[in-house]
Structure 1
């Protein structure tokens, strides 16, 4: 079976006399990826139509270094404009459902049925509750998220700012951090509005395991 790395290797080996340009490597990488995927189930080839959007491309090119301030600001402002508040004005749902979503890593694979609800897979990157024995550490701990931010009642007027911030973070994390690796749950359609409300409740409801002492 032909290796998926041959297109990239060909470019690199042909560059003995001169180093390949970033454009050469990028084109070879795209060719290698395109030759390695096929459409199956809900996983269509359209996912390869635009491998990187502006923010992803800029952050990749930065190679772990901070973006230039004006570029980071422009990316964040563009992504912030995509944040859409809940249609009915309700930001907070049921934390019990939110916990199930956060602990569920299922979804968006070729074996999933069209229209099936996805999980949030939050536990892969964050600590969620005190009782958890295993959790990811790529993202910050979410334990005590609401309590530390003073959200005693998510519906109270003085809690509005953190409620809207949290919704925006779930909808499109690049609106506040240009190079965030967090899935853009709302913007990308990974979670629907009701699921987002339930995750909001998990983070903000004083009775949820996130805010339990």
Structure 2
């Protein structure tokens, strides 16, 4: 999902200039109905984005429309504290963990691993959920996990990110018990259960359970190149 505060921040920069200059910002055909001069830059940004219908709505692959993407859920709201602040207070962290555990859907019975080869493809694929003039079509190509964008998983892959922890030899170091599988499933599905306000996406609902099982196999299967470095 888009972070509503992040989207609004960019418009807020324009809004600050507009207010400082005393400019009138048109509200469709109702420019006289709203006194934008009484708004803060943040309020004006919210107004321009959500109330003026100045953007073209589109149907999302996950259902709903663009407005739904830009509307924060409870976890996003709780994690939208001042970006200049480096700490996360305990009360907010506890709230986020509780919300994440409420959202998480555990699979029934033992967790099975999928095919690590398919997991490698999903880890490398950033396809999915993009909108615009050429919106991604999940009917012709499945969404990927884009894991390499943030993690080193297989050092033979030339381009990998370092925002998240290095996952080389993940399964080799931790084993492949049901407890480890449950933990990995929880983190991939909703990482806020263990890392409140993390930058890692919540993949439950974006990837299928089968896709998650393939990525888990890529991390845990002894035959996976992740565990042979």
Query: Do they fold alike, i.e. is TM over 0.5?
Result: yes
SS at the partner of 2:184?
helix
In the alignment, what sits opposite 1:182?
Answer: 200
Secondary structure class of the residue paired with 1:61: coil
1:68 equivalent in structure 2 = 89
How many matched pairs?
196
> Structure 1 regions of 5+ residues with no counterpart?
15-19
Following superposition, the deviation at residue 97 of structure 1 comes to 0.5
Residue 142 of structure 2 corresponds to 117
Q: 2:180 aligns with which of 155, 162, 169?
A: 162
C-alpha displacement at 1:45, in angstroms? 7.0
- Mapping for residues 52-63 of structure 1, pairs under 5 Å: 52-63=72-83
SS in 2 for 1:66: coil
Q: For 1:134, which of 159, 164, 170 is the aligned residue?
A: 159
2:103 aligned with 1:85: no
Aligned CA RMSD, in angstroms, stands at: 2.8
Aligned partners of 1:59 and 1:46: how far apart in 2?
A: 23
The answer to whether the 8 A contact 1:91-1:200 is kept is: no
My pick for the range that moved more, 67-76 or 99-108, is 67-76
* Inter-partner Cα distance in structure 1 for 2:183 and 2:210: 17
Per the alignment, in what secondary structure is the counterpart of residue 181 of structure 1? coil
Report deviation, 1:163: 1.2
Alpha-carbon distance change, 160 to 25 in structure 1, aligned in 2, over 3 angstroms = farther
Unaligned runs of 5+ in 2: 1-9, 23-36
Which stretch shows the higher mean deviation, 173-182 or 26-35?
26-35
- Tell me the secondary structure at the aligned position of residue 226 of structure 2: coil
Distance 1:207 1:198 in 2: 13
Secondary structure in 1 matching 2:65:
helix
